[in-house]
């Protein structure tokens, strides 16, 4: 049984930056340091940071007054920022710079009097943070069937932003339908779907065409990891999302000659190494790393002033 590794895979620049911010905050301010929501959506990353002294909470009211508080890579609404000030919290913003770029467009569209369509998954932290950037009409869309029921103030003044971790294929279909409904819709100069999401989906598309089974390493609540599994399945290749090697079912390997492996943007590489080791213990041999897009993007970690 041959193993093929997708390239690129795993951590993106925004995830690296967010994790580095938590590590530096712990070193500078000493534990406990509080984090509103999971800093990134990966159970192993969260547990490692928790062991170092990070405390993850779902509500600001759970945090003691004056404590150092980090906003996750997914971003938060303006209301959350204001509430943190009211509670006297010392905040550090770990929002991915590419998510912040979406926030700025959201604010600009509202300032121009546009209804804004936020294309993304309802309830996802990134979507909630984006919706909370400006006052005014906001509509969250997840699929094309929701478009006919949209009611906007002025069809000539409609713009959109997207969640950064969406399926490129699914979003293309939704945007096609939106352009029919709103011919004058304001679009970003470049897609809001981030480079890492696009690159990893492209790599899995190629991977799925070359193997009999795809394993995506990532947590169940990771949007970008779920999209990778869906990309493989759209190529008619069986695919499973696993948090770690222990979740592999040996029955999946029956009759399989080639296994493809990738990892979501919030999944650490050591988990991929463990999956490869598990498969080699169960009959796999050679490991081949596929060619792919080289990524050279790095985001500076800010000087932490909480």
Residue 181 half-sphere exposure, CB side, CA atoms within 13 Å? Answer: 22
Per-residue DSSP letters for 38-62? -SSS-HHHHHHHHHHTEEEESSGGG
Q: Which tokens in the block code for residue 46?
A: 């969260």
Q: What is the largest CA-CA distance in the chain?
A: 61
As annotated, the active-site residues are: 126
Hunting for tokens 């890492």 — which residue is that? 196
Hunting for tokens 């509430």 — which residue is that? 83
Of the candidates 64, 175, 63, the one whose C-alpha atom is nearest the C-alpha of residue 117 is: 175
Per-residue DSSP letters for 163-176? -TT--HHHHHHHHH
Separation between Cα atoms, residue 249 and residue 251, nearest integer Å: 5
Separation between Cα atoms, residue 41 and residue 201, nearest integer Å: 18
In the chain, the N- to C-terminal Cα span, in Å, equals 51
CB contact set of 115 (below 8 Å; sequence gap of 6+):
136, 137, 138, 139, 152, 153, 154, 157, 158, 159
Return the H-helix or E-strand segment holding 101: helix 97-111
Residue 235 half-sphere exposure, CB side, CA atoms within 13 Å? Answer: 23
DSSP-derived secondary structure letter, 120: S
DSSP-derived secondary structure letter, 221: T
């Amino acid at each position: 049984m041959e193993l093929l590794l997708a390239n690129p895979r795993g951590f993106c620049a925004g995830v690296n930056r967010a994790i580095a911010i938590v590590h530096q905050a712990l070193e500078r301010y000493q534990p406990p340091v509080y984090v509103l929501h999971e800093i990134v959506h990966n159970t192993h990353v969260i547990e490692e940071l928790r062991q170092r002294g990070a405390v993850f909470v779902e509500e600001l009211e759970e945090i003691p007054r004056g404590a150092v508080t980090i906003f996750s890579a997914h971003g938060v609404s303006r209301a959350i920022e204001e509430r943190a000030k009211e509670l006297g919290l010392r905040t550090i913003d770990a929002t991915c710079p590419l998510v912040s770029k979406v926030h700025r467009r959201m604010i600009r569209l509202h300032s121009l009097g546009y209804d804004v369509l936020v294309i993304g998954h309802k309830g996802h932290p990134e979507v909630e943070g984006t919706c909370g950037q400006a006052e005014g009409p906001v509509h969250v869309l997840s699929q094309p069937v929701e478009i006919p029921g949209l009611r906007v103030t002025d069809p000539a003044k409609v713009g959109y932003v997207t969640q950064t971790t969406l399926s490129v294929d699914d979003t293309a279909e939704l945007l096609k339908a939106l352009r029919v409904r709103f011919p004058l819709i304001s679009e970003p100069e470049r897609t809001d779907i981030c480079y890492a999401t696009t690159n990893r989906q492209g790599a899995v598309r190629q991977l799925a065409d070359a193997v009999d089974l795809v394993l995506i390493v990532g947590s169940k609540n990771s949007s970008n990891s779920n999209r990778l599994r869906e990309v493989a399945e759209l190529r008619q290749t069986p695919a499973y999302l696993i948090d770690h090697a222990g979740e592999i079912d040996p029955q999946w390997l029956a009759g399989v000659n080639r296994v493809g492996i990738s990892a979501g943007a919030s999944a650490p590489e050591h988990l991929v190494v463990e999956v490869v080791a598990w498969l080699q213990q169960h009959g796999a041999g050679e490991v081949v790393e596929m060619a792919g897009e080289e990524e050279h993007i790095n985001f500076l970690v800010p000087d932490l002033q909480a």
